[in-house]
Structure 1
Amino acid sequence: MPKAIRYTLLSLRDLAASAGPFIVLAFALLALAYWWLDPNPPKRVTLATGPAQSAYEEFGKRYAKALAAEGIEVVLRPSEGSAANLQLLREGKVDVGFVQGGTSDYTEQDEEDLASLGSLFVEPLWLFYREDAARKVAAAARTGKTKASQAAGKADPAEDASLSSLTQLQGLRVNTGTPGSGVPSLMAKLLESNHIDPASLKISRLEQTPATVAFLGGELDAIVFASAPESLMVQMLLQTPGVKLMNFAQSEAYSRRFAFLTPTRLPRGVVDLAANIPPDDVRLVASTTSLITRTTTHPALQQLLAQAGNEIHGGAGWFKSAREYPNRDNSELPIAKEAERAIKNGTPVLQRYLRFWVANLVERMWLVMGIIIAIMLPLSRIIPPLYAFRVRSRIFRWYGRLRDIENRVENSGDSDRNSSKNKALLEELNDLERRAEKITVPLSYTDELYALRGNIHLVRRKLQRL
């Protein structure tokens, strides 16, 4: 092996040995920080959606597609609806779920275990009724008003085959959905505010799909559910002949009575401009649906879900303007920090140029890496002295033997001159010189090696003068 390469490898070996403890400590701190921060999220998350053909189910599929692009599998778990989703979250059976405002009462424990990833969209309370049922209500009202008019000598009132008040539902067959949907709880509050005894209605609790089949078959007079307009069921019922959507004429009053309700309006012709569906503006009341997560859900997953929400819900719709949602308003639970940052600032700069897992790793580790560098930088100053000591030790350790030989030379008496003892000392010096000639050190330390060899010659000359 050429001497230049040998010297280089030797120098690198000494440097690696000197810096080894420092490097091990640095990697140990990085490993500890990685374990503590846990920057990379799990590859699987469970999302509670809702009934078949509901808006929750449709949005769940969009979230699954959005996260699949980042290598995250979203397991969609169907449920009865909002209230069922909240219960699944409380029990820890799902990681995230769609929950409608006003369908449940939150506890102090919920505020510790759950957090909101933002308000996503409004869900109007859709109360569809059959026109023939409305005509029966109108006929009954007309009969009562006719008798009153005849008694007062007035003309008969004109027929009105439409419903605009919950009080008109009395006596009708109304489906309010399963308890897990949260709609029965919401309807109970609205009926109570109208001083309506639920017993005055023929209430059923069928799931959305069988209830719609029964409604279209004439077995029900009205059907109530809360859903985003993207729901296939909503789209179908809005365009079904003989089915009308109740106009909440008191929508403003409902919003003042219930903080979780918002007055909204379905514009004329928004469903089908050519067919002019609906033929008039329809006033509705709506609650805001949020994406709720457990606080134990990985922060990176929370961030990714919130970013997906920006893409999925950020466009204009029937009841919203572009970029109006997601937002941090109307939230009944604290907003998760990751979601707040995503809603406010959008996609982080690094994620626009790097894969999510790389950008996420850098974002979560950079501060810790800065701290580690601040700790290790002062410690790194011991490496050069340690390296110098390691190289010089290969030379200095022979000085002990040389000093011992010199002491014995100085202690030799006249009687010992030219004796076998001096010959033995000379042989030791020759052996020490042979060993010194085999010492290999980096070129920058050869002056010390030659100094050792020169000192050996000095002791030899002293011995030869005896």
Structure 2
Amino acid sequence: MKPAEAVHGHLATLREVLLPAVPLVLLAVGGLVLAYWWLDPSPPKHVVLATGPARSAYDTFGQRYRAALARYGIDVTLRPTQGSLENLQLLREGRADVAFVQGGIGTPQPGDAQELVTLGSLFVEPLWLFYREDVYPDEVERTPGLRQLSSLPQLQGLAVNVGNAGSGLPVLMQKLFEANRMDAATLQITRLEETPATAALLDGQLDALVFASAPEALMVQMLLATPGIRLMDFGESEAYSRRFPFLTPVVLPQGVVDLASGQPPADVRLVATTTELLAREDTHPALQELFAQAAVDIHGDAGWFHRAGAFPAIQRSGYPVSQEAERTYRTGQPFLQRWMPFWIANLVGRMWVVAGLVLALVLPFTRIVPPLYRFHVRSRVFRWYGRLRQLERTLQEQPGRAPEVLRELDALDERVDRIAVPLSYADELYDLRNNIDAVRRRARMAIAHESSQALPMA
């Protein structure tokens, strides 16, 4: 056999083997395509994160999240807001995908359980009540003294800024005022944003202001280091935490602001809310996973009010917990992402289960491949038996057509000679050719018999 003929024979054999498997391959590919369409494993490359006022802690953290997700090709649009209340509203309206929301700000609505999920608690936001330490006449001794506040009722009669309405801080402060049986009419309340409120405090137009922010906020850092401005010590911090489950007692340790100057000069007791990262339930799971991974990097270190590893954390909340975030905090970064680019690892990680299911469904059908293969190969030989039977019947019924039958047999033999079958089926091909020869001999005998009948008697 020539080399070219050998190669052709091998290719023909390979084609015969693979051809019966084509329907199964198409079925498996169709299943994977359908699963890809249904699961949508590739996340969108754009997401909206609602943050907070400019130069606030939310704004600072938002920029860090944007940089973290940019490494994976995700464009994070930061949407500045007035604060948590506005962020929550944007999530509910679908105008933001992810947002920072302060604990105790609003209550989950009936539809939120289906629309919003929490990606975990990120950090504590103490209530920073800064006040001017101005000299004022002591009401008892009628002698000059420095203002020292240690409880909210001491704010009565003072000009106090409780934050802008969009932040939700006025709602929180109203709850605390009511718990202290304070009449709002006894306070000169303003609702300025952080920057103008800080300027008013420094200019003496305000006696006190309240922030609810992480210690990384620029305004907090500045006021802590400003002479003449003091931070109120919440002596009843434990009591507040018992009355309000969303509040936690925290302590600003002595010297944590500046060890060299010993600021603060003593421990300061504060109450704090916990900020959560909320997302719409329909936010792509891969994006939820990336935000959770970024949260570990951004908030996992030690801070003024917590030790390393305390955040991010899954705490009891009014919102369902994202399964992606919970898995990330429990097991860390997925194994595949440690060795593959994110897009490939994400695709494999979200499709392998479906691929296994498709394989489990297709595997039983593979049992019919060998019978199909045998049938396909043998049919290439057996289908000529029908033609051979017709020629044999013609020869029996019409012996005079033997020359015509002989020509048809020669043509049939040429066609059969071009059939390529695997060696394991060569015996059936040779049986066909032997049967063709047997009918051919009978045709020749019939022709000889007809010729002998045609000769004249001697």
Where on the TM-score scale, by shorter chain, does this alignment land: which range? over 0.9
Deviation of 1:237 after TM superposition, in Å, equals 0.8
Residues 169-193 of structure 1: per-residue CA shift (max 9 Å, x gap) = 1121111111111110010001111
Partner amino acid, structure 2, of 1:404? Q
CA distance in 2, matches of 1:397, 1:128: 97
Deviation of 1:403 after TM superposition, in Å, equals 0.8
Match of 1:321 among 285, 307, 319: 307
CA distance in 2, matches of 1:103, 1:17: 65
Which residue is equivalent to 2:414?
434
CA distance in 2, matches of 1:235, 1:338: 34
Deviation of 1:402 after TM superposition, in Å, equals 0.8
Deviation of 1:52 after TM superposition, in Å, equals 0.7
Residues 373-421 of structure 1: per-residue CA shift (max 9 Å, x gap) = 1111111122222222222222222111111111222234xxx5xx4x2
Matched position secondary structure for 1:108: coil
CA distance in 2, matches of 1:310, 1:233: 25
Which residue is equivalent to 1:50?
52
Which residue is equivalent to 1:62?
64
Residues 49-87 of structure 1: per-residue CA shift (max 9 Å, x gap) = 011111101111111111111121111111011111111
CA distance in 1, matches of 2:165, 2:393: 101
* Contact 2:313–2:329 (CA under 8 A) maintained in structure 1: yes
CA distance in 1, matches of 2:320, 2:395: 87
CA distance in 1, matches of 2:274, 2:184: 25
Which residue is equivalent to 2:275?
289
* Contact 2:241–2:248 (CA under 8 A) maintained in structure 1: yes
Deviation of 1:279 after TM superposition, in Å, equals 1.2
Unaligned stretches of 5+ residues in structure 1: 147-155
Q: How does 1:164-243 map to 2 (within 5 A)?
A: 164-243=150-229
Residues 194-234 of structure 1: per-residue CA shift (max 9 Å, x gap) = 11111211111111111112221222111111000011111
Deviation of 1:164 after TM superposition, in Å, equals 0.8
Which residue is equivalent to 1:125?
127
Deviation of 1:160 after TM superposition, in Å, equals 5.0
* Contact 2:128–2:213 (CA under 8 A) maintained in structure 1: yes
Partner amino acid, structure 1, of 2:73? G
Which residue is equivalent to 2:26?
24
CA distance in 2, matches of 1:347, 1:36: 25
CA distance in 2, matches of 1:30, 1:267: 57
Which residue is equivalent to 2:450?
none
Matched position secondary structure for 1:93: coil
Question: Does 2:401 match 1:425?
Answer: no
CA distance in 1, matches of 2:192, 2:238: 30
Matched position secondary structure for 1:318: coil
* Contact 1:288–1:330 (CA under 8 A) maintained in structure 2: no
Partner amino acid, structure 1, of 2:441? R
CA distance in 2, matches of 1:108, 1:55: 30
CA distance in 2, matches of 1:159, 1:131: 9
Matched position secondary structure for 1:435: helix
* Contact 1:101–1:332 (CA under 8 A) maintained in structure 2: no
Which residue is equivalent to 1:72?
74
CA distance in 1, matches of 2:327, 2:414: 72
Which residue is equivalent to 2:8?
6
Match of 1:459 among 439, 447, 450: 439
Residues 94-153 of structure 1: per-residue CA shift (max 9 Å, x gap) = 001000011212222222211111111100001111111xx33xx2xx32x34xxxxxxx
Which residue is equivalent to 1:149?
none
Percent identical among aligned pairs is: 57
Residues 291-335 of structure 1: per-residue CA shift (max 9 Å, x gap) = 011111111111111111111111101000010111112423221
CA distance in 2, matches of 1:253, 1:450: 99
CA distance in 2, matches of 1:82, 1:48: 9
Matched position secondary structure for 2:90: helix
Which residue is equivalent to 2:423?
443
Partner amino acid, structure 1, of 2:196? P
Which residue is equivalent to 1:102?
104
CA distance in 2, matches of 1:179, 1:333: 23
Match of 1:409 among 390, 395, 418: 395
Which residue is equivalent to 1:87?
89
Partner amino acid, structure 2, of 1:108? P
Between 1:224-233 and 1:429-438, the stretch displaced more is 429-438
Which residue is equivalent to 1:152?
none
Deviation of 1:348 after TM superposition, in Å, equals 2.1
Matched position secondary structure for 2:404: helix
CA distance in 1, matches of 2:349, 2:303: 34
Matched position secondary structure for 2:298: helix
Q: How does 1:217-366 map to 2 (within 5 A)?
A: 217-366=203-352
4+ residue runs of structure 1 moved beyond 6 angstroms? none
CA distance in 2, matches of 1:17, 1:318: 69
Between 1:104-113 and 1:202-211, the stretch displaced more is 104-113
Which residue is equivalent to 1:15?
17
Partner amino acid, structure 2, of 1:114? L
CA distance in 2, matches of 1:298, 1:224: 37
Aligned residues: 444
CA distance in 2, matches of 1:209, 1:160: 26
TM value normalised by structure 1: 0.92
CA distance in 2, matches of 1:353, 1:346: 14
* Contact 2:133–2:146 (CA under 8 A) maintained in structure 1: no
Unaligned stretches of 5+ residues in structure 2: 447-458
* Contact 2:119–2:278 (CA under 8 A) maintained in structure 1: yes
Partner amino acid, structure 2, of 1:8? H
CA distance in 2, matches of 1:343, 1:293: 16
* Contact 2:403–2:443 (CA under 8 A) maintained in structure 1: no
Check 1:160–1:219 CA distance in 2 against 1; reply closer, same or farther (3 A cut).
closer
Partner amino acid, structure 2, of 1:333? Y
